[in-house]
Structure 1
């Protein structure tokens, strides 16, 4: 059947895991917040200046000047806001700003990496700050430099240059290869030996030896940097109001740059409008002398004809034809002028040019018809008509052109542009970035998420046994006792390591009511059943690997059995690293190895522990061949003699997967118990330990599960999470 518990999200288990790794989570979160705080501290503040510009409709801008509406087609259509946005970002405008403010020259003090700039920003003194930790080449606050001009050859353009301040307002400039370029004095122009590099510094405030970073970049690069920090957009749809903003680290500079951008934009707009009227006026003024000459010639010819022929009056028919011819000729001339103006801007295939060509063709056809009517008149009337026509046409053209030129002069003088600045640039008092509170909040959140991810990774990679039910389910062996982790035992172990050992160092004596001791009392009861049917009354306690607490189980189980009235002997069978003697404050010498080698007798190796009914046999001198000694017949004889003198004999052996000693001892005892520690072993490791005993012909009776975390179990739901306590209190 399918276990429904596998699909159940155990909230208690999640809480228990979080509490188990709470210090890791707190450490990672604190580290993330600390990094966020450092980032917020060292990040350069960014200030933002903004301004408003109105793009006016050209028709409304001309107001009631009705006379100027006649030249509206010449001055162009109303301004497009989208086009103005592109003009604001164009190289034409930004290039003027770069040149006027020297933005292609970059000059900054050389700050110490990471936190030097942050310390310098927080310095408020009038004089340059003293060097920190003797690092005098770096700037620490209060340094200033004003570079008015810097010219370098093309191969140095864009490369970093280094300027070092000297005594008495002197300085030295080096290239990117630390080769000296020039020496100079503040307020005086300086040049290199070949004259290709020139530098003029108006102000330099710094300690001698302070380094500054200089660079001369190309205009295109400077315009790109300016455009990157410039924002322009229409404030609201069809509002004709443009919002411009500029961001940068220097609060005063961002305002100055944005104001200069607006000034250059307004100047360009006015210049463009004036240039349109100027170009058209120039064209008309070039035509006026020619038309005046034609008018004078026509009047002279007409007057001469009348003097020679006497007064010639035109008939009514001739006057009608004359009026038509004059009107058509005037229209042709006006259209031809418009076509010439359009051809200055468009090709002959443009729709407007082609439309004028079509109108001119129709007028020329009408003019041809009128010429046929003139040919039917008498010769005298034809000549008088032709001369009179030339005078009237030239007079009309000259008068109209003169009026248009005068109107354009008025338009040129009154040009104010289509745009105006509503709000000049203003910088907010506080920086817009970095947002320190948000950085700290995000770093905390990311720290928690990172810590949870780390915990998940650890849990996913650590496939270990966490509860005794896994051992019973996977290995089909009983777990005789589950021993909780004890804080008191950890303190006692540290005391033993410092060499302060007496009988009170044993947890069963120092704190008999500890939860771990209650579990060992349970093991004392179940141990009786483990020895049923065994030929010997001895118990081997070992583990698969070091550090599982087998010695802790051995000595405290022996003490618990002794407290119950049993005669107990504990043998330290770890002839390699045995240390149980330290817990009782007795020397290692005269023990198991000495008995096997015949150096000591049984009475000499059995040592009291200070606990009634509890004796100890130490390892003796550490031999070079412990496995061979344990296989000696005298070891089996030793165990047999000790069993006769006690009710329970407990042997603490080294880890079975590390050495073969435990398997050798296991053949000489009545029962073998494996100690497993919670969260320490993969299940395969425990299987391997049992297999090692099986290969040696030793049957493992069961397990003692050590180091069980009760704090974690309190948050679990279900049977596995319960651990009962029942204590008497005075």
Structure 2
């Protein structure tokens, strides 16, 4: 039968009588198959581009909307310098204000604890804040008062809790500095500056009041004593003047005057000693109270180091404060002594505050010296101070006894004075004693006032807060960039995970990484068919409808045709030890391109000058006859039931040296026919007439026909489709063929598209990324 596709005459091709000895290639699994490099990540990410895009959109849109919806937040910071926290200097003879509990270097963490936990400090600041309705800078309403009103009545406690819980944050200004930054946050820039300054000033005032506490107590004591002695002096003057007016006495004798003066001086000295004794007794009582408190604090330090107990203490403190607040709300104008239950609650609140504060100090001091060691040193210092004070008290009492003896002796001398002079002498003695005592106490009072005014506290503001010109947040560009970064990162992770879990084969490397030989890679021809044939499935040639996928027949100069020629070369030299005369082409599943591959391979082998027979052995779903525009019958089935010798005239010839045997009519038992003795005899007849016989067999996993035929073939190829065939399907097909001893020469990757290998584009672009083969389709120079 004449061929409708005539090719120019070719010189005869010498057919080798003996095999060419070529070293058989060895396929080794890539040792880096388990690794993922940058190229593969790019490849997997672009293959999963919709996952990446979806994840990016899922994160970017809500993040952008939330960021844009958030109001601007402003922060203002006031800086406080914390210096040594020592008590005031002693202003009375023999007294000392040194306290070993606070004599050490300032502990900034303790001060920060006070700033963040002391509700009394917060209420002091809240009292100042509540004097404003709008911030002085922008005249905008204060948000803290509006937020406090939303949760109930606006009280010092509610505003103070908001200050500490939401608006104010404190931290150290640096590792090697003794400064604290008080930062206020608000949606109103003026309010942020106001709150930071008010809170910092409240802390400084509390610190100053704490530092002046000891000196103020001394001043108040001296004021009481001065007032008492002044009243005593006035009474003594009045008594002397009244007596002299009443009796007409003028003055005492010189000797008596000296005696009265001495007695008055002694009385003044003993009064001063009495005052000092009272002061020393008060000091001893205070030291004993400090010792008791320190011992309790040492016990609490051990107890409150437990996080659970500390949390329980804070919970109880909140409940106690809530009960006290309810009493204050119900009795806003209450005066007089507190009810017993409220007084107990107040004492319990003080105990809980001390316990929580000591727990914070213990946590802060744990990095430097163990809390137990610090407490022991403090107690030892307090006991030494108590011992010194008691010794001083004993000395004062001895001094008073000595003064009293002198006074008794001089009083004996005074008794010898005449009666009228004795009375006047006693009155003047009392006046002289009162004058000396008053003058001494008045001098000490002035010293105490000077000491109190000179005590400026251990904290001062070195930089007030200013109205911030720009918002501190939200950082919208950063949030959006972060959302994009996270979206891309998670998207790539999801895409890589999905692709890594995807068992489909996409690239030639995927097959080689499984350890299988790759004999050919056929590119996807849909784009070429669309370009050359308008996307038609069949092309009319000389009155026959030919499948557009027969590229080697319709467009021999295309790149796809060149890949089939490369497949022909791989097949020819796949078994150097044997002449390949029969080839079985199969696939794991239907629809993977085995028939197209077999047909194009038959065409390129025929174009090399060898006589080729293409047999459609897929008796269940035959397609070869449609690809060449031929009739299905007569075919292989008819030939199996016909014992006549075969000739070339019994076959269709669509091209030079290419002959086709369709499947024929439907057969009820394809496997029995293909495995019969008649089929083996027919194979021998085919080999006598043709150089190469190619069988298009059914899929391996769909039927056993391919496995039966493979035992009679010189070579078997398994065709897989890129993006469709899974690795375990290929493995199952290879295992089925190997179990019967089939001579599997390798795998053909069909339908490969360069877009499936972005990270490896440079590797495949030249062979599979062009429309025409080398030397064709180029412009002439």
Do these two structures clear the TM 0.5 threshold for a shared fold by scoring above it?
yes
Q: Is the 8 A contact 1:33 1:440 kept in 2?
A: no
Matched, 1:559 2:603: yes
Which residue of 213, 218, 226 maps to 2:166?
226
Matched, 1:550 2:490: no
Give, in angstroms, the shift of residue 147 of structure 1: 6.8
Which residue of 516, 522, 525 maps to 1:488?
525
Aligned to 1:88: 115
Higher strand share: 1
Give, in angstroms, the shift of residue 407 of structure 1: 7.7
Give, in angstroms, the shift of residue 497 of structure 1: 9.4
* Distance 1:667-1:27 versus aligned 2 partners, 3 A rule: closer
The secondary structure found in structure 2 opposite 1:21 is helix
Aligned to 1:245: 183
* Distance 1:530-1:221 versus aligned 2 partners, 3 A rule: same
Tell me the distance in 2 between the aligned counterparts of 1:524 and 1:625. Answer: 33
Tell me the distance in 2 between the aligned counterparts of 1:24 and 1:234. Answer: 51
Give, in angstroms, the shift of residue 663 of structure 1: 1.6
Question: Can you list the C-alpha shifts for 1:306-355, whole angstroms capped at 9, x where unaligned?
Answer: 97998354479957964773464244134235336647855366566654
The secondary structure found in structure 2 opposite 1:393 is helix
Matched, 1:392 2:418: no
Runs of 5+ unmatched residues, structure 2: 1-25, 131-144, 292-381, 417-421, 540-545, 765-771
TM-score (norm 1): 0.61
Runs of 5+ unmatched residues, structure 1: 103-144, 153-197, 200-216, 718-724
Question: Can you list the C-alpha shifts for 1:468-504, whole angstroms capped at 9, x where unaligned?
Answer: 99979978xxx6x732342436654999997445354
Question: Which one has more relative contact order, counting CA pairs under 8 Å at least 6 apart?
Answer: 2
Give, in angstroms, the shift of residue 576 of structure 1: 4.3
Q: Is the 8 A contact 2:74 2:470 kept in 1?
A: no
The secondary structure found in structure 1 opposite 2:556 is coil
Q: Is the 8 A contact 1:569 1:617 kept in 2?
A: yes
Aligned to 1:135: none
Matched, 1:347 2:288: yes
Tell me the distance in 1 between the aligned counterparts of 2:665 and 2:158. Answer: 83
Matched, 1:430 2:453: no
Question: Can you list the C-alpha shifts for 1:617-645, whole angstroms capped at 9, x where unaligned?
Answer: 45567777643554567766776776677
Matched, 1:699 2:742: yes
Aligned to 1:367: 400
* Distance 1:17-1:624 versus aligned 2 partners, 3 A rule: farther
Tell me the distance in 1 between the aligned counterparts of 2:761 and 2:708. Answer: 41
Tell me the distance in 2 between the aligned counterparts of 1:69 and 1:373. Answer: 25
TM-score (norm 2): 0.57
Tell me the distance in 2 between the aligned counterparts of 1:275 and 1:485. Answer: 94
Give, in angstroms, the shift of residue 375 of structure 1: 4.7
Q: Is the 8 A contact 1:606 1:615 kept in 2?
A: no
* Distance 1:390-1:316 versus aligned 2 partners, 3 A rule: closer
Tell me the distance in 2 between the aligned counterparts of 1:490 and 1:242. Answer: 71
Aligned to 2:707: 663
Q: Is the 8 A contact 2:698 2:706 kept in 1?
A: yes
* Distance 1:579-1:408 versus aligned 2 partners, 3 A rule: farther
Give, in angstroms, the shift of residue 557 of structure 1: 0.6
Aligned to 1:49: 75
Give, in angstroms, the shift of residue 42 of structure 1: 2.3
* Distance 1:238-1:473 versus aligned 2 partners, 3 A rule: closer
Q: Is the 8 A contact 1:48 1:248 kept in 2?
A: yes
Tell me the distance in 1 between the aligned counterparts of 2:590 and 2:237. Answer: 129
* Distance 1:445-1:615 versus aligned 2 partners, 3 A rule: same
Give, in angstroms, the shift of residue 556 of structure 1: 0.7
Aligned to 1:149: 149
* Distance 1:380-1:91 versus aligned 2 partners, 3 A rule: same
The secondary structure found in structure 2 opposite 1:551 is helix
Q: Is the 8 A contact 1:591 1:618 kept in 2?
A: yes
Aligned to 1:573: 617
The secondary structure found in structure 2 opposite 1:243 is strand
- Count of aligned pairs: 598
* Distance 1:296-1:534 versus aligned 2 partners, 3 A rule: closer
* Distance 1:337-1:621 versus aligned 2 partners, 3 A rule: farther
Tell me the distance in 2 between the aligned counterparts of 1:408 and 1:94. Answer: 31
What does 1:72-87 align with in structure 2 at a 5 Å threshold? 82=108, 85-87=112-114
Tell me the distance in 1 between the aligned counterparts of 2:712 and 2:593. Answer: 22
Q: RMSD of the TM alignment (CA)?
A: 6.1
Tell me the distance in 2 between the aligned counterparts of 1:365 and 1:271. Answer: 37
Tell me the distance in 1 between the aligned counterparts of 2:146 and 2:571. Answer: 90
Give, in angstroms, the shift of residue 17 of structure 1: 3.2
The secondary structure found in structure 2 opposite 1:541 is strand
Q: Is the 8 A contact 2:73 2:473 kept in 1?
A: yes
* Distance 1:248-1:552 versus aligned 2 partners, 3 A rule: farther
